[in-house]
Structure 1
């Protein structure tokens, strides 16, 4: 039976002002207070404090973060704190997403375009499975959790239960799997597929790393085994299994049939309105597009943009809120809002931005008005779920301060590190000055973070530094979650010396190796250079005793003055605590771990190949060869062959090409791996 209690694993007890913070937050929760705020300075161990609260309060927990990179780090930390419990990662599964849109001024219609990350999709499905099966669940999610994903009831109705000894007609068994959106493929068993071999049916659940093997004797289900998909070895025998759907959005033939009449009636009303207003082009456009979608739904059970008809397919009334991930939590769940000063305004703004785009589509005949009900939660709908909330931030926003019955300060870092002193330098000539400072940091073995105002600026600065043989890289929202997590680890390991970004570096990213934080154009008042933003960026330098902060500004703005003043207050509090407790500040030492589960290297799009190439150029042949043999030892032969080809190309003075290398090369490496590995062991 699955454990139902959170078990916190930590090599240290709470220290500094963490014990008082934990006690106060638990007191608020146990007294029924809806909202409390943890004002914790960067590096004070807010996540550890929250982990203790989660363990003691012992409720299913949603940890809400405002971007994928922060969510990845939180996921990694909670996995480490709760290895015996179910910790999941739930973010948007789009690596790239261009929503459907229309620009009236230029009469330009933009088709929906998207690239789905299958690994994240599997993690999302594993999340809902755990929420249904158990209570010791922590879900680290981005704001994508407030977007519609279909009704929970429909999802649960599609779950299929199998038990040993049951009688199943083979055809009915397969039909049950197909209704759960699994497809038959007897040649290549991949997640979301099943295959039949005589009296044995093998199923690869989308949410699992193991396959299920069902063995029949006539029409009796004789055995169920959990099997390793690579070796085929049995992992465990099961008496009962539940197979969860292969996708979240679940509908049925009956629901599609019922929705047809409703779609048709709405179409007739909207076309009639357009014609009465003299909008014949819009009427014709809407009629042709909608009728085509209806034909696809009737024939294939699917159409492009099916989510725009979700109101009818889900059986919802006009204006009724859609089903979201939060509906999978029990009513007594705990919500943690990390970096709440950014996360809550982001949640509040999602609905209006989505609706504004869709209203244009409706008014110009691209979609029916019912598409407006395919939406994220409105703010008041989200507030309904905020019954037990802890907001965490070094700079709490106005909403948290107004709605929290208690604001718990956590200003002391257990390491004794005080907020760094802040130096203000002129923005004129800032790049030359910055390069001189970076050379000092490189000589001491440190790392640098640089924040710019634009993504283009980050890219251009990273490229310029690369020409100076500085190992630099940019990080921004166009990179997928796995790439961003990998960039953070490369900085920490030293593969990157300078990481340049816009605002993804501000909140919650732990990089104790960083000894310099430089903020370019700090006097450009606005969102990216507000008081809260400056405090957050400066906080990246609060994990290393040698860290410094440089603000490049030609004038001292109110935001700069307030941020520097607050930093000074917190610094004095830490220094006083250190003196009273005889603490010598120590740099945080934190192991470098993957924030997200490792995924196989794929034939990457152009942008990813370019970034990989930039990384390779800074590695010598010895480092590349080591990387190649590490891949061999992990049985990643295609990846090893690709690196081998790059080594050969560099030795011959050619530009390394993308791709895996040929199959023969991979086989050759496979054959040689044993002898090479033995030589390395002897050495």
Structure 2
């Protein structure tokens, strides 16, 4: 389906926005690879980005430095482009303890994690949109530079169905199993399918609705999009595409080749350990790898399959992994929000990951190929860039050095100027804070309070609630999706006060 970006807004660019938009678009037209938008807080940088996206009409990646800011940008771009594909791509772990080994105390820490099912759905929805539509905006955190499997395999193993086509029902069931869907006739949820007579219901990994495929003999008689809970028919498409339930899905012929290569590396590494009398390391590696190979041969999947991604995606040692950025077309536009925070994060990801995995390889917990399950280096990230705009109130040296004269947004559309900053003594600060909150809430205004620690944020929030002040707190341990809800509730007046640790540098738009 060919769609165009169509910006919906009650407002037109004002203040410095028209000049900044023209300067940046002129630069893009002239083929300038990197530009910088220097805009003060409250100058409407997000609206400027939206206008640029509408002008360019190419798939766009908006990169943010944390999940809270990404969720907020997602909400804003969704309101600007309600008829287009706007998606949210962040780490899907609510809790993540990476696999690690501390040789000094002989302590092995097994990988432990809790996946957020809703964020996993949003990630699949994002990759599906990139492979099916041009009018796609992805709002992502820096987790998008981690490997997620080959886009070629993900797209080639998708199943496309048309009304009236000849297709055997039992063959469709086998194909669904091959792309990691599980048959479950009782508990119908994402990543499963059920069979009832001539009807197959499939709940795609990236959708909040299911597809019902009705057969008449060996012919697809009818396709419907249904509510998975009530069975209500939402639409009757002529064609549907079902993408794999895992980004690491691999065709059987590629999987067979990958398993042989895994066995070859395993034999070489085992011989190395035995030759150097590292029998404990050899035993560790043998136990882990033999189990993984058996699971891959029997089911095509294993926990920790990403550690074999070099072979599953047919890459050479050291070759960069496939990431979300590989799902974009070559002409995509990159917008880096709060670039002074985001770019240093991108630069630092690789080294930290590498140091931890080198220890695991050295002591026999992983094979050397696991080192290729990694984030992009900064040089690899840079090579992906077609055209980029760095957006910040305080751009760093890198952005300024790689850009022509920055486009500036100093005049706010609202005409507001920077507030006066007062420094007060700490004596009686809580009573002073409460008095200021009472004064602001009496005028139907909101208050942001910053603290030094998570515990302090929680304790202060509890204290304010006890004296009947509508308060919420926000920090990294608050659920990713819940953070967006808290910010929305603050705007709506459910809360009058928001307590946090680094609220003043989150890029919050309230």
TM-score (norm 1): 0.71
CA contact (8 A) 1:95 1:479 kept: no
Question: Paired residue for 1:328?
Answer: 327
Specify whether residues 103 and 496 from structure 1 end up closer, same or farther in structure 2 by C-alpha distance, changes over 3 A only. Answer: farther
Rg larger for = 1
Specify whether residues 343 and 276 from structure 1 end up closer, same or farther in structure 2 by C-alpha distance, changes over 3 A only. Answer: same
Name the SS for the 1:303 alignment partner: coil
Question: Paired residue for 1:509?
Answer: 508
Deviates more, 1:266-275 or 1:99-108: 266-275
Specify whether residues 316 and 221 from structure 1 end up closer, same or farther in structure 2 by C-alpha distance, changes over 3 A only. Answer: same
Residue 271 (str. 1) matches residue 270 (str. 2): yes
Specify whether residues 337 and 223 from structure 1 end up closer, same or farther in structure 2 by C-alpha distance, changes over 3 A only. Answer: same
Deviates more, 1:59-68 or 1:292-301: 292-301
Deviation at 1:24, TM superposition (A): 0.3
Q: CA RMSD in A?
A: 2.0
Specify whether residues 427 and 275 from structure 1 end up closer, same or farther in structure 2 by C-alpha distance, changes over 3 A only. Answer: farther
CA contact (8 A) 1:358 1:371 kept: yes
Specify whether residues 95 and 233 from structure 1 end up closer, same or farther in structure 2 by C-alpha distance, changes over 3 A only. Answer: same
Question: Paired residue for 1:165?
Answer: 164
Question: Paired residue for 1:295?
Answer: 294
CA contact (8 A) 1:69 1:504 kept: no
Deviation at 1:468, TM superposition (A): 4.2
Deviates more, 1:390-399 or 1:445-454: 445-454
Deviation at 1:218, TM superposition (A): 1.6
Separation in 1, partners of 2:179, 2:86: 25
Specify whether residues 466 and 278 from structure 1 end up closer, same or farther in structure 2 by C-alpha distance, changes over 3 A only. Answer: farther
Specify whether residues 161 and 400 from structure 1 end up closer, same or farther in structure 2 by C-alpha distance, changes over 3 A only. Answer: same
Q: Matches of residues 84-99 of structure 1 in structure 2 within 5 Å?
A: 84-99=83-98
CA contact (8 A) 1:3 1:85 kept: no
Question: Paired residue for 2:481?
Answer: 482
**Residue-by-residue CA offset, 1:196-240 (whole Å, 9 max, x unaligned):** 222222222222233222222221222222233344343333332
Separation in 2, partners of 1:483, 1:211: 25
Deviation at 1:409, TM superposition (A): 0.9
Could you tell me which runs of 5 or more consecutive residues in structure 2 were left unpaired when the two chains were aligned: none
Q: Matches of residues 86-165 of structure 1 in structure 2 within 5 Å?
A: 86-165=85-164
Deviation at 1:166, TM superposition (A): 2.1
CA contact (8 A) 2:102 2:108 kept: yes
Name the SS for the 2:70 alignment partner: helix
Q: Matches of residues 205-284 of structure 1 in structure 2 within 5 Å?
A: 205-284=204-283
**Residue-by-residue CA offset, 1:100-153 (whole Å, 9 max, x unaligned):** 112223322111111111111111111111111111111111111111000111
Deviation at 1:74, TM superposition (A): 0.8
CA contact (8 A) 2:448 2:503 kept: no
CA contact (8 A) 1:322 1:374 kept: yes
Name the SS for the 2:290 alignment partner: helix
Specify whether residues 179 and 302 from structure 1 end up closer, same or farther in structure 2 by C-alpha distance, changes over 3 A only. Answer: closer
Separation in 1, partners of 2:279, 2:181: 43
Q: Matches of residues 312-351 of structure 1 in structure 2 within 5 Å?
A: 312-351=311-350
Q: Matches of residues 357-372 of structure 1 in structure 2 within 5 Å?
A: 357-372=356-371
Deviation at 1:88, TM superposition (A): 1.0
Residue 23 (str. 1) matches residue 22 (str. 2): yes
Could you tell me which runs of 5 or more consecutive residues in structure 1 were left unpaired when the two chains were aligned: 512-683
Separation in 2, partners of 1:390, 1:116: 32
Question: Paired residue for 1:569?
Answer: none
CA contact (8 A) 2:17 2:409 kept: yes
Question: Paired residue for 2:400?
Answer: 401
Deviation at 1:429, TM superposition (A): 5.6
Deviation at 1:299, TM superposition (A): 2.9
Specify whether residues 288 and 211 from structure 1 end up closer, same or farther in structure 2 by C-alpha distance, changes over 3 A only. Answer: closer
Specify whether residues 303 and 177 from structure 1 end up closer, same or farther in structure 2 by C-alpha distance, changes over 3 A only. Answer: closer
Deviation at 1:182, TM superposition (A): 1.9
Question: Paired residue for 1:11?
Answer: 10
Question: Paired residue for 1:40?
Answer: 39
Question: Paired residue for 2:415?
Answer: 416
Deviation at 1:72, TM superposition (A): 1.0
Deviates more, 1:140-149 or 1:249-258: 249-258
Name the SS for the 2:309 alignment partner: helix
Higher relative contact order (Cα pairs below 8 Å, separated by 6+ residues): 2
Separation in 2, partners of 1:299, 1:414: 61
Specify whether residues 388 and 238 from structure 1 end up closer, same or farther in structure 2 by C-alpha distance, changes over 3 A only. Answer: same
CA contact (8 A) 2:248 2:305 kept: no
Deviation at 1:243, TM superposition (A): 1.7
Question: Paired residue for 2:194?
Answer: 195
Separation in 2, partners of 1:35, 1:463: 46
Deviation at 1:434, TM superposition (A): 3.3
Residue 458 (str. 1) matches residue 457 (str. 2): yes
**Residue-by-residue CA offset, 1:407-430 (whole Å, 9 max, x unaligned):** 011011111111101112345664
Deviates more, 1:297-306 or 1:128-137: 297-306
TM-score (norm 2): 0.95
How many residues end up aligned between the 2 structures?
Answer: 510
Name the SS for the 1:425 alignment partner: coil
Deviation at 1:276, TM superposition (A): 4.2
Name the SS for the 1:499 alignment partner: strand
Specify whether residues 404 and 427 from structure 1 end up closer, same or farther in structure 2 by C-alpha distance, changes over 3 A only. Answer: farther
Name the SS for the 2:505 alignment partner: coil
CA contact (8 A) 2:273 2:279 kept: yes
Specify whether residues 350 and 504 from structure 1 end up closer, same or farther in structure 2 by C-alpha distance, changes over 3 A only. Answer: farther
Specify whether residues 247 and 293 from structure 1 end up closer, same or farther in structure 2 by C-alpha distance, changes over 3 A only. Answer: closer
Deviation at 1:481, TM superposition (A): 1.4
